[in-house]
C-alpha cells in the first residue's frame, strides 16, 4: 500500500481502461475543492440548526435536533466510502454524496465544539485549508521528496496510530480505562496531537504522490473523483485531529 490512506491502494488503479480522457492532478484538486464546498454547505446547515434550537430550547434540545443528522451522516458516509472504495467508477456520484454526508456529521460535531470553545472551528478550518495548500505546494515544487523510506515510515506510523486508536476505543467501550495522552491535556497530550496532525499532513503528500503517479500511468478521467474522495478522507481526519489539538490547548 503506497499511502497511509486505506482507500488509495495500488489495486484501485490496476486494470483500468486507458482509452479516452485521462486523469490529471489539477482535475483531482478541482474536484476536491468541490467536495470541500459541499461538506461546508451541509455542515453549515447542521450548525445553523443547532444554533437555532439551542437559542430557543437549550443545549439538550439542540443536541436532540442534530443527532439524527450527525449519526445518519456518519453511517451513510461510511457506507458510501465502502461503495466508492470497491466500485471506483461510481465515484462521480458517491464521492459528492459522501462529502454531503460527512458535512452533516462534522457540522454537528463542530457546533458542539464551538459552543464549548468559541472560535475553535474557524481556526481548525483555516488550519486544514492552510495545511492542504502548503503540502500541495511542497509536493509540486519538490520540497518534499517521496522516497520508498519516506513512504514506508509514514505508512508504518499511520498504522501504529490507527491501532492505538482502536485499542483506546475498545478500552473505553468495555472498561473505564482510556489511554491518557490521547484525550488529556498537558505537554504529553498536546505533543501527541501535534505528532498526529503532522502525520496526517504527511499523508496528504503520499496521497498527492499516488494520484500523480496514477495520472502519469494514464488512469481514466473518472478516477479524478476517486482521488478527490481519497483526499477528503485524509482531510476529514486532519480536521478532527486539529479540533482535538486546539481543544487541548484551550483547556
From the number of C-beta atoms within 10 Å of its C-beta (0-12, 13-18, 19+), residue 143 rates as: exposed
Would 233 be classed as within a structural domain? yes
Q: Tell me whether residue 221 is in a domain.
A: yes
pLDDT: which is higher, 210 or 181: 210
pLDDT of residue 56: 84
pLDDT reading at 106 higher than 80: yes
Q: What is the mean pLDDT of residues 8-34?
A: 76
* Per-residue cell: 193: 496531537
| Residue 210 counted as domain residue | yes
Query: What is the distance between the alpha carbons of residues 96 and 162, in angstroms, rounded to a whole number?
Result: 26
Which helix (H) or strand (E) segment holds residue 250: the answer is: helix 223-250
| Residue 137 pLDDT | 92
**In the prediction, which pLDDT does 31 show?**
95
Task: Decide if pLDDT at 204 tops 60.
Answer: yes
Domain membership flag for residue 3: no
**Looking at residue 17, what is its pLDDT?**
60
Q: Please determine, for residue 80, whether its predicted confidence score (pLDDT) is greater than 90.
A: yes
- Give residue 67's pLDDT band: very low, low, confident or very high (50, 70, 90): very high
The 10s digit of each residue's pLDDT in 132-179 is 999 999 998 888 888 889 989 998 999 899 898 899 888 888 888 888
- DSSP bridge partners of 22: 220
Instruction: Answer whether residue 1 is part of any domain.
Output: no
Tell whether 2 is covered by a domain.
no
Range of the structural domain that residue 43 is part of: 10-250
pLDDT for residue 10 is more than 60? no
Average pLDDT over residues 200-221: 89
Q: What total number of domains does the chain contain?
A: 1
Q: Flag whether 160 is in a domain.
A: yes
Distances (CA, A) of 69 to 40, 49, 75: 14, 10, 10
pTM of the model: 0.88
- Contact status, residue 214 vs residue 23, Cβ threshold 8 Å: yes
Residue 149 contacts by C-beta under 8 Å, 6 or more apart in sequence? Answer: none
Amino acid at each position: 500500500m503506497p499511502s497511509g490512506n486505506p482507500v488509495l491502494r495500488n489495486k484501485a488503479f490496476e486494470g483500468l481502461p486507458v482509452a479516452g480522457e485521462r486523469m490529471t492532478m489539477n482535475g483531482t484538486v478541482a474536484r476536491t475543492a468541490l467536495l470541500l464546498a459541499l461538506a461546508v454547505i451541509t455542515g453549515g446547515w447542521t450548525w445553523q440548526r443547532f444554533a437555532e434550537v439551542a437559542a430557543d430550547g437549550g443545549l439538550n434540545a439542540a443536541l436532540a435536533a442534530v443527532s439524527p443528522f450527525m449519526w445518519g451522516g456518519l453511517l451513510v458516509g461510511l457506507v458510501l466510502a465502502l461503495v466508492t472504495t470497491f466500485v471506483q467508477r461510481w465515484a462521480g456520484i458517491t464521492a459528492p454524496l459522501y462529502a454531503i454526508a460527512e458535512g452533516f456529521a462534522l457540522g454537528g460535531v463542530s457546533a458542539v465544539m464551538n459552543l464549548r470553545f468559541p472560535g475553535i472551528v474557524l481556526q481548525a478550518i483555516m488550519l486544514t485549508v492552510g495545511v492542504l495548500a502548503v503540502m500541495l505546494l511542497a509536493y509540486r515544487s519538490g520540497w518534499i521528496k517521496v522516497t520508498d523510506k519516506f513512504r514506508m515510515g509514514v505508512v508504518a506510523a499511520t498504522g501504529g496510530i490507527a491501532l492505538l486508536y482502536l485499542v483506546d476505543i475498545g478500552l473505553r467501550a468495555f472498561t473505564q480505562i482510556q489511554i491518557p495522552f490521547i484525550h488529556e491535556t498537558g505537554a504529553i497530550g498536546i505533543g501527541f496531537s501535534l505528532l498526529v496532525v503532522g502525520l496526517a499532513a504527511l499523508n496528504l503528500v503520499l496521497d498527492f504522490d499516488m494520484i500523480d503517479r496514477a495520472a502519469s500511468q494514464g488512469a481514466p478521467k473518472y478516477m479524478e473523483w476517486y482521488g478527490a474522495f481519497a483526499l477528503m478522507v485524509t482531510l476529514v481526519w486532519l480536521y478532527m485531529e486539529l479540533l482535538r489539538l486546539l481543544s487541548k490547548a484551550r483547556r
